[in-house]
Chains A and B, each alone.
Chain A
Amino acid sequence: MSDTRRHPTPGCDRVLLVQAELDGELDAAQAAALEAHRASCPICQAAQAELLRARALLRGEPYETTPEAVRARVMARLRQVEPHVASPPVRRWLWLRAPAAGFGLGAACAAAAVLAIVLPQRGDLVDAVVASHIRALQPGHLEDVASTDQHTVKPWFDGRLDYAPPVRDFVAEGYPLVGGRLDYLAGRPVAALVYRRDKHIIDLYVWPAAAGGRLAGETEVQGYNVVRWSDGGMNFWAVSDVERSQLDDFVALWRRAP
């Protein structure tokens, strides 16, 4: 605090101490001395009022939390440098500053308000699907049910989803089913079917299509190919780092399947 006097502010040289008190930087003795001064100093009183106004302005401002896609790309980049880096704890939807900072919304209310806001738009969905795929490639995250038998994988989803995703195996064609897992996309739990092609993994996300919604398209994000289509009332998103032609073969097998 001895530096204070070297940075005089017009008016009273103790306004920075008024600020320090508001920031919790003074001990009890310093605070008491300041209080005695402030009681008779209109400049310090006005300073305090102004500081409180500035603080109040910022209290409700949201914290700029890392978007999922950015997080995934940061992790991918770190793994290029150090392949063993694991994921940090995911803090999805933790937009609000800690309650200790004075933000008065309850967690449940916050979650409700925020859920409506951050559900991915169509463009974000591509990022979300790729991020989900990248996350799943970490050890232990790939499948919740490990089975090459579609008759094991399909019933596993019963009771975990409010729809029955179609499950198929293409082992004869070189795309064996290796398992399935639950993921969360487009604001709902979705089925992820996991396939292997040589050393590569293909994730196929399946969830019910909105009425009349018939998406089809393909893109590439951060070296991952993404193909999406709709069929039989379901949306399908296939994501993988296999070559584009192989992913197209895989998609063609699916679309030809009875």
Chain B
Amino acid sequence: MALSSRDDSFERVVLPHLDAAYNLARWLMRDADAAEDVVQEAMVRALSYFGGFKGINPRAWLLQIVRNTAYGSRALNRGAETVPIADDDTAPELASEADDPETALLRMRESRKVRELVAALPVELRETLVLREFEELSYKDIAEATQTPIGTVMSRLWRARQLLARAAQAEGLP
């Protein structure tokens, strides 16, 4: 099943998407430890289901497993108010080279706020937004990964973006 000499091996087809799996789990679970538990479990499941994988988009397939694993986790909605993703000090802060320290600090604060706002979205809106904006999946792939009709994907995306834009405006973000 997982012989590294074959081009369709688990290593070549699925493992390159480990970062995508972690990113989704991180945004869904909002907690590093819970995200790791979900990723561990999802990767083991992916390995055991891999023999039956016949799809054309392994990333959407893996993300579907991550998402289902996350939904099966009791930690999913725990700590919604207390552990927003932005409280994590290990999250990298990015600053453009051109920024002076003051601008860089401002950007850092804005970035923190944006992540808090995303983390505060209801989970079904959050996952749709993350799959589109971070994973850049097509509507069709999001529909497959979340086992949701395309129309629902579209309205969830709309709702997520609207909530985010309005909350940001209320917070005085640009």
Which residues does A use to contact B, with CB under 8 Å?
Answer: 1, 3-4, 6-7, 9, 15-16, 19-20, 23, 25, 50-51, 53-58, 60-67, 70-71, 73-74, 77-78, 81-82, 84-89, 91, 94-97, 101, 104-105, 109-110, 112-114, 117-118
List the B residue with the shortest CB-CB distance to A124: B90
**18 A-B contacts, Cβ less than 8 Å apart?**
A3-B150, A4-B154, A16-B158, A50-B162, A55-B161, A57-B114, A57-B165, A58-B133, A61-B118, A63-B19, A74-B18, A82-B1, A82-B10, A84-B2, A84-B3, A88-B15, A114-B92, A114-B94
B173 contacts partner chain A, Cβ-Cβ < 8 Å: yes
Contact present for A89 and B16 (CB under 8 Å): yes
Give 1 or 0 for each of B12-52: 1 = CB within 8 Å of chain A CB.
00011011011100110000000110011001100110000
Which among A53, A89, A97 has the highest number of chain B CB atoms within 10 Å? A53
Kindly state the separation between the CA atoms of A71 and B165 in the bound complex, as whole angstroms. 34
Known: A70-B36, A81-B48. A64 touches B132 (CB 8 A): no
Contact present for B158 and A15 (CB under 8 Å): yes
Report the minimal beta-carbon distance from A50 to chain B, rounded to whole angstroms: 5
Contact present for A82 and B151 (CB under 8 Å): no
Report the minimal beta-carbon distance from A25 to chain B, rounded to whole angstroms: 6
Kindly state the separation between the CA atoms of A6 and B161 in the bound complex, as whole angstroms. 19
B18: A residues at CB distance < 8 A: 66, 71, 74, 88
Report the minimal beta-carbon distance from B129 to chain A, rounded to whole angstroms: 8
Kindly state the separation between the CA atoms of A6 and B152 in the bound complex, as whole angstroms. 9
Contact present for B40 and A86 (CB under 8 Å): no
Contact present for A74 and B23 (CB under 8 Å): no
Which among B155, B164, B169 has the highest number of chain A CB atoms within 10 Å? B155
B149: A residues at CB distance < 8 A: 3
B23: A residues at CB distance < 8 A: 63-65
- Which chain B residues (113-168) contact chain A, with CB distance < 8 Å? 114-115, 117-118, 129, 132-134, 136, 138-139, 149-152, 154-155, 157-158, 160-162, 164-166, 168
- Which chain B residues (59-113) contact chain A, with CB distance < 8 Å? 85, 90-97, 107, 111
Contact present for B91 and A77 (CB under 8 Å): no
Known: A63-B23, A65-B22, A113-B95. A70 touches B165 (CB 8 A): no
Which among A20, A55, A70, A89 has the highest number of chain B CB atoms within 10 Å? A70
A113: B residues at CB distance < 8 A: 94-97
Contact present for A54 and B162 (CB under 8 Å): yes
A20: B residues at CB distance < 8 A: 139, 154
Q: Interface SS of chain B: helix, strand, loop or mixed?
A: helix
Which residues does B use to contact A, with CB under 8 Å?
Answer: 1-4, 10-11, 15-16, 18-19, 21-23, 26-27, 35-36, 39-40, 43-44, 47-48, 85, 90-97, 107, 111, 114-115, 117-118, 129, 132-134, 136, 138-139, 149-152, 154-155, 157-158, 160-162, 164-166, 168-169, 173-174
Partner of A55, one of B2, B3, B133: B133
Partner of B26, one of A54, A64, A81, A88: A64
List the A residue with the shortest CB-CB distance to B161: A54
A89: B residues at CB distance < 8 A: 16
Excluding A64-B35, A86-B11, 15 further A-B contacts by CB distance (< 8 Å) are A19-B154, A25-B138, A53-B168, A53-B169, A61-B111, A61-B134, A62-B93, A74-B43, A81-B44, A84-B2, A88-B18, A89-B16, A105-B97, A113-B97, A118-B92
B21: A residues at CB distance < 8 A: 66
Kindly state the separation between the CA atoms of A65 and B90 in the bound complex, as whole angstroms. 11
Partner of B47, one of A65, A85, A104: A85
Kindly state the separation between the CA atoms of A60 and B133 in the bound complex, as whole angstroms. 11
Contact present for A3 and B151 (CB under 8 Å): yes
Contact present for B152 and A7 (CB under 8 Å): yes
Kindly state the separation between the CA atoms of A7 and B159 in the bound complex, as whole angstroms. 11
Report the minimal beta-carbon distance from B32 to chain A, rounded to whole angstroms: 8
List the B residue with the shortest CB-CB distance to A96: B94
Kindly state the separation between the CA atoms of A189 and B90 in the bound complex, as whole angstroms. 23
